[in-house]
Structure formats: C-alpha cells, structure tokens
Chains A and B, each alone.
Chain A
Amino acid sequence: MKFIDEYRRSELAKGLVRRIHQNSTKKARLMEFCGGHTVTILKHGIRQLLPPTIEMLSGPGCPVCVTDNADLDKAIALAQIPGVILTTFGDMLKVPGSRSSLQRVKADGADVRIVYSTIDALQIAQENPAKRVVFLGIGFETTAPTIAASVLQAEQEGISNYYVLSLHKLCPPVIKALLDSGEVKLNGLICPGHVSAIIGSRPWEFIARDYGIPCVVSGFEPLDVLQCVDMLVAQIENDESKVEIAYRRGVRPGGNQRALELMDRVFEACTARWRGMGPVSDSGLRLKREFERFDAEFAFEFDPGPTLEPKGCLCGDILRGVKTPPDCQLFAQVCTPESPVGPCMVSSEGSCAAHYFYKATYE
C-alpha cells in the first residue's frame, strides 16, 4: 500500500538498526511522548531490535488516558440529562469514571453516540432540533482545530443546539511540567508527529535549549521511529541538543497556520487537570467568552459528584513514565481490555493496552 509499505521496508529497517547499534555507545533514555508511537514500537517489535544502551519510556501522549476522572464524570453526568445526545469518539465509551462509564449509562438508556468527526455531531444536532447535542472534545492540538471549526460552523449556520465539552490538552506545557518535576530523567524526546503537524517543531525548542534534551519529531511508521532514534542517538553521541524533524512529509517548523488560527479564534489556554499529574497551568483549552453559549459547562447544570480514583491502578505513574504497565499488579489480571480498571487499558493508544496486545517474545 502506497505511503505505508515504503515506511515498513525490512531491508531499510535493518540498515537503520545496524547503524544505531554501531553509533550508540552512551546510555540513552528516550521517551516517546505519543501513544501512537508506543503502539508502533510495540507492534513492530522495535524495542527488541535496539541495542541495550537504549531504554525506551512511554509518555503521557494518549488523550483518552490523561483525561482526569473529574472530567470523565462531567461527561457521564451530561449524558444522563434528559434530552441530551452525547457524541463522542469511540475510545471514550469504555473508560471508567468514578462510578460509571459512558457505555454503562448508554446501556441504562442515555443517548450516547459514537461519531468519527465533529461533522457527524453537527449533523446529529441538525437532525434533532428538539435535542441538545454535546460533543465530547477530547484530544490534543491535533483534534482541537476540527472542534474549533465545528463551533464556527454552528455559529455561522445558526445551529443553536450544539455544545462542546472542551477537555482539550496541550502537549508542550505538560512535557515542561514533567521535566520540572524531576521524576524522570531523559536523554532524548521523540516528539509527537501529528501534534507537531499542527503546532510545528518550534514549540519544542525550549526543551532542547533549556533542558539540554535532544528532540526529534517522528512519524508513526516503523522506519519513521527508527530514523528518529538514529537521529537522537547521533545528537546524544555528539553532545548536542537541538530540535530536528524526522517526519518531514508531515511537519514544518511553523506548523499549520490555518489550523492554529482556528484554534486561536475559538479557544484560550486554561489550567487543565491531567491524570497522574494534577492541574497544569496553561495546558488546556476552553472556549473563549464570545463562544460561551456553545460551552457545555456553561449551558448545562449538572452535578458530576465527588471524584473517586480506582484503587491500585497505576495509570497516573505510567503516564508520567515512572512505572511501566507490567509494574502494575492489576495489569492483565484484574485489568484487561474487556474489563478495564484504568484508561490506559481502554484506549487503542494507551500504554497498557499496547503492552497487552503487543506482547513481545524473546527467542
């Protein structure tokens, strides 16, 4: 398949692996921020191919996983309001909140619908003028522009029964928070590819400059990740720290101006709660005051109840990179994709689900 097979060619991969083995002499702890990268790395068995000098850590880059229980409870409470249709991406359905999940309230009669884009949600709003349609806005900088566009479209077309519960999160601030905490020491960062397609590579420069950590933006195919590791190893061996792009077919230093303008038009930065990290200032997006009437938090009165955390679940630690899924006593025993305890086991990009599905075997 074009644009896929080229990036999975085994002879090129073997060449890159050989070069990484030759060049890597210093201990290198690399974090892949993004859950999509975690999946690529485990699915294709990339960890097995790397030399023992290189340690790979998974980061907090799974939007479903980092959504705090307090926020999940809001979505679950909204879904239970009579006359509300809650529209969401499929991954959110099974994530357990404090007391229930969207899947469970759906089974009890709440109108929860899976959509594939905000366009579907807007269409549902138009087709159901007597209902109020809430879109569950989960995601990073990658999805935020499409949700901004839907709000503008709703305004333009006078769709007055469309609302957004904005739980969007921003990546660079949380990496800063993670590094400032001092919990995790990194020698290199694999920067998220699709987030960078929107924001560009410049927002990562402070990491290279202020923290001395090499940064390379990577795509999501195995050759992308191997090339990225190769570039990080080169910087580490040369005692350099700069931002490079290994994903040139998707990312420019300045990002996608149109998408950034859309986001800027509709959203403003706010403090957001991250699972495992708590509140991080300027790491979330809320609707600007002029779009307040589309904001589900303003438009509805609801009580999400007190927040409870699942006992024994290490999702928070795993998202910070201080624990790995097999460290968790619940992993694959109590917590499985069929009956998940924490969100990292639910999302297709969650670290626990990726470890569960793509078990490596060493022969």
Chain B
Amino acid sequence: MSDKILLAHGSGGKLAHDLVERSFLQAFSNPLLAKLDDSATFDFSGRLAFTTDSYVVNPIFFPGGDIGKLAVCGTVNDLAMAGAVPLYLSLSFIIEEGLSQEDLMRIVSSVKEAAEEAEVQVVTGDTKVVNRGTADKLFINTAGVGMIPTGVDISGSKAKPGDKVILSGPIGDHGIAVLSQREGLSFSTKLQSDCAPLNKLVAEIIKVSSQIHCLRDPTRGGLATTLNELAKQSKVGIKIEEEKIPLREEVQAACEMLGFEPLYVANEGKLVAIVAPEDVQAVLKAMRQNTYGKDAAIIGEVRQEHPSRVVMKTRLGASRIIDMLVGDLLPRIC
C-alpha cells in the first residue's frame, strides 16, 4: 500500500472502495451512512435549514485546526446562524494526487472530532482525486441540513433601531493564525485559530431569549463586512465603539506589523448577535457561560440614523464610516 493518494483512489474501483471503507466509514460510522446507498434517506418534519460551503484553506494544517475541522465548523455555524439545530452533513473531498494518506487520515479524524463535538452526523460523501497541480492538496465541500425549532425566526433582515450588538469574543484570531503559517510570510505567534462549532452556544442563547433578531458569523471579510451586510439587509444604521471590541494583543501586534485592520480579518468561531435591548443582558450572560462566548461583549447598537451604514466611534471620540472589505489584504510597504 502506497502512503500517497493515487489517482486510482478516486477511480471508483478497488482502491477507492478500500479508502472509503478503511477511513471514512470507520471514522463516521452511523446507520444512515452505513447503508451505502447513493443517497442518505431520513424522515423530517418542520422547518429545514440547508447550506453548503467549500473549503480551500492554505495551508491545510494551521495552529488550532485544519481544513477538516474548518469544513465541519463552517457549515455547522452557517446552520446555527439561522437558529437551526444542525443534524446531517455531506462531505466531499477533492484530493490532489500525491497527498499523503497520513495527512488525509489526520484530517478525517479532525472531521470526526468536530462532528462529534457539534453532534452532527456525516451521512453522505464523495471522493475525487485529480492530477497533481490541478488542485492544492485538498479541497473539501460540505453541505448541511438542520432543523429550526418552532418559534425561532432569525434573519439578517430583522435588526431594529434600539437593538444591541453583541460580539461573542476577540476578533481576527483565525485570519492571523493562518497567515502566520503562509510560505514567505513567516512570523511566529502562539495564536490559535478560533475555529469552533457554535451551534451549542446558539442553542443556549435562544433558550434565554426569543428576541434574538440576527445572528451571523463574521468569517471572510471580518466583523466590518458582517456588520455592513446586516445594516444593508435590515436597512438600519449600526454604530459600534472601537474601545468595546475585544481584540487579542497578538492579533493587534500582527495587524500593526502587516498593516491590516483587525475589523477585516477572518474569524471561524465568533458570532454577532443583534438582540432586543430588554434581552441583551440575559443573552450576554448565557453567552459568557459557554467556552466559545466567554469574552462576549456588547459592542454597539442599531439605530435609525445612517441606514445601511456602519459607523464606528474611534478611541479618540471621533467617528468614521466602516465599509465592507474592499480588495485583498496586502501587506504594506514601509
């Protein structure tokens, strides 16, 4: 047995079957998957949330996680942001010929671990192997379905003037942790990606409040982009205070060095909740009791003024408009 993934592993023949049985079936063993039919089938009633995402992170292993953990958390979180209880995931691997089987197994086991933590089941999957050079080591696509509990109605369009904006913890950890590992950009940091499944945190805050209007995880584009999306969808203004935004010293230092704005750096285990003012303390308290929300803070409020715009009060007391991320994050020259 070669220790590398070969084109034949994706051919549908013997090697492919071996790979599926040896690695995937064992790792994700559950009755729905074990049937090995072309589709997973299950009964369902009520409102369904359905989402998909593809993961192409480089490098595939980074401090605090890897592409496998990310693929589960990302999709679980997208379901959770609709207030859904995630149930089932699909998992599709596009593997570049030559990836080591050891790396693949490491990733499969982090998928397993993350799925267990989030209490979701991988019920269907696929593997393709492509020629060397036509993909970068490994791409993963996941889709997920979840059930929306009765009475839960959360959407980016439901923010109302007077609502408060809660952020579940410090921003920028994922983006900076991944960047620190990029080839040609070596700086050492103890920082770990915040990659985490947030569905339980969401379930806990939904339990204490029926007035959570919007939930969103600020991934690519960072907090600034997410707040802009919410302001536009709800046609309201959002005002945040620079001083209130939780930020780790390591992230601030890396951003200062590279010329980035932490507001635009990606997160994979944070959420923004827009909540009616009367419930804000209860939600904050519930959030802080969860590991992934222990540094949660109220960072601002929703207002009638400046609809569709996000405004930030700077530390010095001035205010400026915070736009969506434009272009790429490129390091500065001097």
Q: Which one of A9, A14, A194, A358 has the highest number of Cβ atoms from chain B below 10 Å of its Cβ?
A: A358
Q: Answer yes or no: A222 CB below 8 A from chain B CBs.
A: yes
A–B complex contacts, Cβ < 8 Å, 19 sampled: A1-B256, A8-B316, A9-B315, A44-B315, A45-B316, A48-B319, A49-B317, A63-B333, A89-B331, A91-B332, A115-B184, A120-B184, A140-B334, A143-B333, A338-B326, A349-B333, A359-B323, A360-B318, A361-B319
CA distance A194 to B249 in the complex (A): 23
Q: How many residues of B contact A (CB 8 A)?
A: 27
Residue of A nearest to B185 (CB): A116
Residue of B nearest to A17 (CB): B316
Residues from chain B with a CB closer than 8 A to the CB of A349 are: 332-334
CA distance A363 to B334 in the complex (A): 34
A90 touches B327 (CB 8 A): no
A347 touches B316 (CB 8 A): no
Q: Answer yes or no: B39 CB below 8 A from chain A CBs.
A: no
CA distance A75 to B311 in the complex (A): 40
Residues from chain A with a CB closer than 8 A to the CB of B259 are: 348
Residues from chain A with a CB closer than 8 A to the CB of B305 are: 363
Question: Which residues of chain A in 303-349 are interfacial with respect to chain B, using CB atoms and an 8 Å cutoff?
Answer: 336-338, 347-349
Q: Answer yes or no: B126 CB below 8 A from chain A CBs.
A: no
A81 to chain B, nearest CB (A): 22
Residue of B nearest to A360 (CB): B320
A338 touches B334 (CB 8 A): no
Q: Answer yes or no: B117 CB below 8 A from chain A CBs.
A: no
Q: Answer yes or no: B253 CB below 8 A from chain A CBs.
A: yes
Q: Answer yes or no: A43 CB below 8 A from chain B CBs.
A: yes
Residues from chain A with a CB closer than 8 A to the CB of B319 are: 45, 48, 360-361, 363
Residues from chain A with a CB closer than 8 A to the CB of B332 are: 89-91, 347-349
Taking Cβ atoms with an 8 Å cutoff, the residues of A that contact B are 1, 4, 8-10, 13-14, 17, 36, 42-46, 48-49, 63-64, 89-94, 113-116, 120, 138-140, 142-143, 194, 222, 336-338, 347-349, 356-361, 363
Our pick among A43, A89, A338, A357 for the contact of B333 (Cβ within 8 Å) is A89
Q: Answer yes or no: B314 CB below 8 A from chain A CBs.
A: yes
Question: Which residues of chain B in 285-334 are interfacial with respect to chain A, using CB atoms and an 8 Å cutoff?
Answer: 305-306, 311, 314-321, 323, 326-327, 330-334
Q: Answer yes or no: B252 CB below 8 A from chain A CBs.
A: yes
Taking Cβ atoms with an 8 Å cutoff, the residues of B that contact A are 184-185, 243, 249, 252-253, 256, 259, 305-306, 311, 314-321, 323, 326-327, 330-334
B179 to chain A, nearest CB (A): 12
B237 to chain A, nearest CB (A): 10
CA distance A357 to B261 in the complex (A): 11
3 tightest A-B contacts by CB? A45-B318, A90-B330, A359-B321
Residues from chain A with a CB closer than 8 A to the CB of B249 are: 1
8 other contacts beyond A91-B332, A194-B334, with CB at 8 A cut-off?
A4-B252, A10-B315, A44-B316, A63-B333, A64-B333, A89-B333, A356-B326, A360-B320
CA distance A63 to B334 in the complex (A): 9
B-side interface mostly: loop
A224 to chain B, nearest CB (A): 12
A244 to chain B, nearest CB (A): 23
B326 touches A49 (CB 8 A): no
Q: Which one of B253, B331, B334 has the highest number of Cβ atoms from chain A below 10 Å of its Cβ?
A: B334
Our pick among B320, B321, B326 for the contact of A336 (Cβ within 8 Å) is B326
With A113-B184, A138-B333 in contact, do A46 and B316 touch (Cβ < 8 Å)? yes
Our pick among A1, A48, A143 for the contact of B318 (Cβ within 8 Å) is A48
A43 touches B334 (CB 8 A): no
Residues from chain A with a CB closer than 8 A to the CB of B184 are: 113-116, 120
Residues from chain B with a CB closer than 8 A to the CB of A116 are: 184-185, 331
Residues from chain A with a CB closer than 8 A to the CB of B318 are: 44-46, 48-49, 360
Residue of B nearest to A2 (CB): B249
A10 touches B317 (CB 8 A): yes
B311 to chain A, nearest CB (A): 6
A69 to chain B, nearest CB (A): 18
Q: Which one of B256, B316, B330 has the highest number of Cβ atoms from chain A below 10 Å of its Cβ?
A: B316
A92 touches B333 (CB 8 A): yes
Q: Which one of B249, B252, B330 has the highest number of Cβ atoms from chain A below 10 Å of its Cβ?
A: B330
A117 to chain B, nearest CB (A): 11
A338 touches B327 (CB 8 A): yes
Residues from chain A with a CB closer than 8 A to the CB of B334 are: 36, 63, 89, 139-140, 142-143, 194, 349
